[in-house]
Amino acid sequence: MTLFTIRIEKIGLKDAGQCIEPYITVSVKDLNSIDLMPVQDTPVASRKEDTYVHFNVDIELQKHVEKLTKGTAVFFELKHYKPKKRFTSTKCFAFMEMDEIKPGPIVIELYKKPTDFKRKKLQLLTKKPLYLHLHQTLHED
């Protein structure tokens, strides 16, 4: 059986420096938006530089890859604090489908909120080439 670790390296945003306490919520959902494992939050980003928010955090998925059903996707929601409104807001999201799970680096596109777990009405966040940069590791259990 195969376990899967995702290193969240960085996310590209045109206003990266303005994000307050950014972090990423990682969830694994089936086609009906049902969570297949506990949702995980990364620590707050380690640094912000130019158009990137850097995380360099490993997230380990708690289920074997073989046990994930067809149509499952891993979602990454970038959240940040809005002091004027005094709450944490989702800035954008990205997702990875099962056929994208393979060892090595991957970049995935960013979409506008609200997060569409059913993946029906996706709108790219921007026309600029801004992505979520990940590195995947698969290990035999």
φ/ψ of 23, rounded to 5, equals -150, 170
Q: What is the mean pLDDT of the chain?
A: 95
- pLDDT at site 128: 82
Percent of the chain with pLDDT over 90: 93
Q: How confident is the model at residue 69 (pLDDT cuts 50, 70, 90)?
A: confident
Percent of the chain with pLDDT over 70: 100
Cβ 75 vs Cβ 27: under 8 Å: yes
Q: Which amino acid is residue 105, in one-letter code?
A: P
- pLDDT at site 117: 96
CA dihedral 93, 14, 50, 74 (to 10 degrees): 10
DSSP three-state, residue 90: strand
- Residue 92, Cα to own-chain centre: how many angstroms? 9
Cβ 132 vs Cβ 124: under 8 Å: no
Q: What is the mean pLDDT of residues 15-41?
A: 96
Q: What is the mean pLDDT of residues 79-103?
A: 95
Q: What is the mean pLDDT of residues 15-42?
A: 96
Distance of alpha carbon 50 from alpha carbon 127, whole angstroms? 18
User: Pick the residue with more confidence: 29 or 129?
Assistant: 29
Model confidence pLDDT, tens digit, residues 37-61: 999 999 999 999 999 999 999 999 9
Q: What is the pTM of this model?
A: 0.95
Q: How confident is the model at residue 126 (pLDDT cuts 50, 70, 90)?
A: confident
Residue 127 has pLDDT above 90, yes or no: no
Task: Give strand ranges (E) for the chain.
Answer: 2-12, 23-29, 40-41, 47-49, 52-60, 73-82, 87-97, 104-109, 111-112, 131-140
